[in-house]
Amino acid sequence: MRKTITFLIVFLMLFGNSHIACKKVFGESLQTQTPSLEISAKSAILVDFDTGRILYEKNSHEKLSPASITKIMTMILICEAIEKGRIKLSDRVVASQNASSLGGSQVYLKENEEMTVEELLKSIAIASANDACVALAEHIAGSVQEFVYMMNKKAKELGMLDTNFVNPYGLDAENHYTSAYDVAIMSRELLKHKIIRKYLTTWVDTIREGKFGLTNTNKLVRFYRGCTGVKTGSTDKAKFCVSASALRNGLHLIAVIMGAPDSKTRFNEATKLLDWGFANFSMYSPYSKGYCFGKVKIKNGIEKEVEAILSTDVKLLVKKGDESTVESKVALPQQISAPVKAGQKIGKLELWQEGKLLGAYDLIAKKNVQKRNLFDIFRILFRLEI
């Protein structure tokens, strides 16, 4: 009995708060009250790309079959391999028998057919090609199994606690699942890779020297203003899913719909979430990186003072019309001692709204200021005497 109780305590400590830990990936939700949005899909979520704030969610941690939305993680690993120099867009990849035999959405690779990494990546991002996923998975990791291991490792690194991948393309398989919350996490991660954005937003393209056409499975790319991606998916088990992102007036939103009854519904409900987000929220950017908030005196420095500048752009998600209620509070010391290094933290900017801290940002020294030496002191005294 005692062993059973001990096991239960350990289990709860390890797994009981898994969703709480996952919540921290996106930060506090701004959904203070349930919006008048009727979403028929099994689960959904709307998040802000820049701040990671949740604007709306419905059953966002329910584990569901993701279909081809799986390919978001596949594309993340491809982008990382390119950016790290492990592969190049111009590299030629030879399709294996394994890749050529795969069903579902595909570009009909033949065994031993050669394509460039770029052609295969386009085929995944635009046409959701399963065979292209296998070809690149084998090219990057040596085998599909090893690539899937990399997918699950990356998912854990990103804090995707509702996810387990079994393949890189998303065909229904036992123990292959994710959640709307986790799809939003990996969608946000994928959009950080600039190399993929042009493919995600391409409506039509070709491969095989123009002989084979590609049409984007995400209709929002063509029909929704500001659409930036991301991916669709559908199988008998998963029903119809979409991760849709859009950028308008500096506000970048990601809407995920999972388990919609049909294709039309998934696009309509993603559109509904995005429209609601753009109608009710705005990105407030009062200060840019490098903005000067004053000067700080320097003790024993070859210069008397240094400018305190903002270390990064300030981006705050606020409800439309509430921008004027945001207050800035600057904390700077009266004096600091030399030497001072450029980029050294010397102060802090806080932004508040109705008694609530919205964000804190470092103020840093604009340049190096060296400490006075004996020669500098004599030079100053000499100037004073003259």
Annotated binding site: 231
Q: Report the SS3 class of residue 239.
A: strand
Give the residue ranges of the annotated binding site for substrate.
Answer: 231
Determine phi and psi for 205, rounding to 5 degrees.
-155, -175
Q: How far is CA 98 from the centre of its chain?
A: 31
Q: Report the SS3 class of residue 315.
A: coil
Cα separations in angstroms, 314 against 142, 349, 359: 43, 10, 9
Active site includes 105? no
**Contact status, residue 338 vs residue 372, Cβ threshold 8 Å:** yes
In the set 23, 42, 71, 239, the catalytic residue is 71
Active site includes 101? no
**Contact status, residue 205 vs residue 221, Cβ threshold 8 Å:** no
Active site includes 282? no
Q: How is residue 86 written in tokens?
A: 């492990």
Report the candidate in 92, 89, 107 with the shortest Cα–Cα distance to residue 213.
107
Name the strand (E) or helix (H) holding 86.
Answer: none
**Alpha-carbon gap, residue 175 to 163, rounded angstroms:** 9
In the set 60, 68, 123, 179, the catalytic residue is 68
**Alpha-carbon gap, residue 14 to 38, rounded angstroms:** 35
The most distant pair of C-alpha atoms in the chain lies apart, rounded to whole Å, by: 91
42-59 burial, b at 16+ Cβ within 10 Å, e below that, comes to bbbbbbbbbbbbbbbbbb
Q: Report the SS3 class of residue 156.
A: helix
In the set 65, 96, 105, 128, the catalytic residue is 128
DSSP state of 9: H
Where in the sequence numbering do the catalytic residues fall? 68, 71, 128
